[in-house]
Amino acid sequence: MASPAFPWWRYPAFALGVLGSEKSFRKNPLIGHPHLNELGLHRERVRLAARMAEYRRRWIGRSVSDAERQAFERDGFVLRENALPTDVFLRIRDRLKEQALPAREMRQGQAVTRMIPINPALLEKIPEVARFSGDPSIANLIRYVGGIGGDPINFIQTVIAEPALQQADPQTALHADTFHSSSKAWLFMDDVGPDDGPFVFVPGSHRLTERRLQWEFEQSLIATRDGRLHHADGSFRITPEELHQLGDFEPQKVTVRANTLVVADTYAFHSRAVSTRRTVRVELHAYHRANPFSPLAVSPVGLVPGLRDRRLDIHLSLSDRKAKKAGRQPTWRDVGACTAYSEPHV
Ligand SMILES: [Fe+2]
C-alpha cells in the first residue's frame, strides 16, 4: 500500500526509479516498501544488476589487459603504479599547488572534501590533466571495473581530515556505495601511508555470493527505519561482525606511492581510514555510475559534442538552483577559486 507521506502523483516517477539506479529506501517508498521487499524486490534488483554488469564486462573487458582483469576478479580493485609519465605527473602536481581554480567544498564531520571540476576551462589552464581524463586506457579500466559503458565524470578531489574537531565522518564506516557495481578512480598526487587517511577496501567483497544476497535481503526489510541515514538511503553500512559472517574477509589499507592509479568497484565494502592526525590527500578522481539494468555497453552522452567535460558543471548548477528554491545551502558549496592544496573554507 502507498505510504501516506508521498502524494499519489509521484508514484510513476518512483516506479521509474525502481527500473533505474535509484537506491534510497527512505526517499522512494517503492524501493523501501516492506512487503515488496519481502517478496524479493531489492534482492532481485541486486541479482539482475550483477548479471547485467557481468554481461557488459564481457564486451568492455576486451580492451583491458589480462593482468588488470585478473586483479579485478580477485580483489574488486586494480592498482596501476606509475600511471602517468613522471614528467607529466610532476608538472600536474606543481600546477595544482600554484593554480587557483573554481572549487566546491562539502564537510562531513571532521572531513572536508574539495571538488574542482575537470572541464574545458581547467584543461586549457593545465592541459596535462587530459592525460588522465582523456586517456582511453584509464577510461576503459574504469568502465570495466564498474561494469558500465559510457564516460566517467572527472574532477580533482582533495580530502582534508581534521581530527581535532572530533566529529564523526560517515565515510569511515565500511559500506557499499549502492546496490550494484559502479566505479571510482583515484590517481594520487602524493604518497599515502597507513597514517595518511588511506582508502580502506575489503578485497573480494565485490562478488555477489549467496550469503551477500541473503544479507542484502535482510537489510532491505529494515533499511527504511534504520537510524543510519546513509544506510536508509541505500548505501548499506556493514559492521565487522556482519562482514565476518559473509566470509573470510579482511579490510585492507590501500597505501600507495604518488602517481598510483587505483580503480575500485564500490559495490565492494570500503571506507576512509580514521585519521588520528591532520591529513590532506589530493587526487585526480573519476566517478562512474549509470543505470545498472542497461544492456548497452556504451552511452549516448559521448555522442553529443562538448557535453562530456561539462556534465559536472551542469549538474552543480542545477543543484544550486534546486537548493536556492528550497531555501537551503547546496551540498557542494561554491567557495570561489583556490588551489587543490588550499586550506578548507567550510
Ligand atoms: Fe563510498
CA atoms within 13 A on the CB side of 58: 7
pLDDT tens column, 115-160: 999 999 999 999 999 999 999 999 999 999 999 999 999 999 999 9
Q: With beta carbons less than 8 A apart as the criterion, state whether 228 and 265 touch.
A: no
pLDDT score recorded for residue 2: 44
237 CA to centre of ligand 1 in angstroms = 10
**Rounded CA separation 177/325 (Å):** 28
Chain position carrying cell 610532476:
90
CA atoms within 13 A on the CB side of 269: 25
Residue spans of the domains in the chain: they are 8-338
**Rounded CA separation 2/111 (Å):** 38
pLDDT tens column, 165-195: 767 777 788 999 999 999 999 999 999 999 8
**Rounded CA separation 158/163 (Å):** 16
Which residues make up the environment of ion ligand 1, defined by Cβ < 5 Å? 177
17 CA to centre of ligand 1 in angstroms = 21
9 CA to centre of ligand 1 in angstroms = 32
pLDDT score recorded for residue 1: 43
pLDDT tens column, 224-281: 989 999 999 999 999 999 999 999 999 999 999 999 999 999 999 999 888 788 999 9
CATH fold of 8-338 reads: Jelly Rolls (2.60.120)
Chain position carrying cell 502523483:
9
152 CA to centre of ligand 1 in angstroms = 16
132 CA to centre of ligand 1 in angstroms = 21
181 CA to centre of ligand 1 in angstroms = 12
Tell me how crowded residue 71 is: count the other CB atoms within 10 A of its CB. Answer: 18
**Rounded CA separation 171/191 (Å):** 21
pLDDT tens column, 41-75: 999 999 999 999 999 999 999 999 999 999 999 99
2 CA to centre of ligand 1 in angstroms = 31
With a threshold of 0.85, does the pTM exceed it?
yes
Q: If you average pLDDT over every residue of the chain, what do you get?
A: 93
